[in-house]
Structure 1
């Protein structure tokens, strides 16, 4: 294959990429409009597995290759996921303890410690550790300073 042929194919690929981008953005606008209509109707804008299955079945029926159905399904699930994120409220990504998400009198209880109760609390610990011993050493130092140690995963 000559360099000229390769360049022509790459130009065509670039054009197709831009067409796909345009269609994905067009789809995103339709998803946003759908979310707005659902909101006006008071309908739930959350994930609908039946609707997703129906869309994926339609896509599979029209997939003439060369990609396997599983590859196409994977790609479209990512597109669907991105679309759902467009429909989420602006506050959906706020921290649970954020005053933007909850009223000022919100108190959250984590392992018996109340956050938001008007008392000052400190949250700290090793962000990256090399061993269990290092975690134990940091916890012991924190406890020695009179702070309560809460262990566990995320909320």
Structure 2
């Protein structure tokens, strides 16, 4: 349930109304935007007298929210959420570029790639230290050493780093990681999501390969319910009957989720198809449909990559793609 407060209402009157509502055993999510002030009521609202609340002179309307996700719901938070990461904003008319190798392989590799992508205009350095692989025989990443190498690359370039966490036991090691990524396979690891909701750090949440949009937002809700509102959604392709690409990029989820939620959303075209030659076209499409950013895998020698070389592009190709994407961003009145 949400309570829409009339414009230009005094803060003391709003606080008085909040106390009246909370006295009925519920909690209030207070969202004050430029044009709207919303009081989101979280808890058992079955016994709340909506007519009584509506009769308050500062109340414009009272609405019941049908969706099970509340804090991720745009009705609860009409204004777009902007996630600040080390002074860089995800959202707010900005196209953020997350780029880097699928897996960190060595110091020379990750530092070299970081310098290249920064020169091309990338916003964040992404790199896998722990790698969830379908085959137990495939390269699993360098682990904690990989995180250390990412920090070296950050020091060399100033780019904030993004890396994927696999389990709760690894959480202390991610204290100095700028954005913690939750991979598709962990999207419904609810114990992990709850703990990530208790820390003050941006979380990049990838959509599960078989998850509906509703399930995707419910996973974000697990994080936000615990108090962490710094959630960035990432569409990375879903499993369908199609076999021409690894997954099927659900480009339609961007406008739909933008309508349903206030959270920023980016697209990972590299994982979506597993084919490097599709990255540019899908990145352009992402900007066209309103995405807040793109995650692109870049490797200095894709043929020798220890992980997902087929979907990785070279730094030289990345630079050319960035030139094109900047033009698309300008056309959409956004900046990179």
What's the TM-score, normalizing by structure 2?
Answer: 0.17
Which structure carries more helix by proportion? 1
Which structure carries more strand by proportion? 2
* Structure with larger Rg: 1
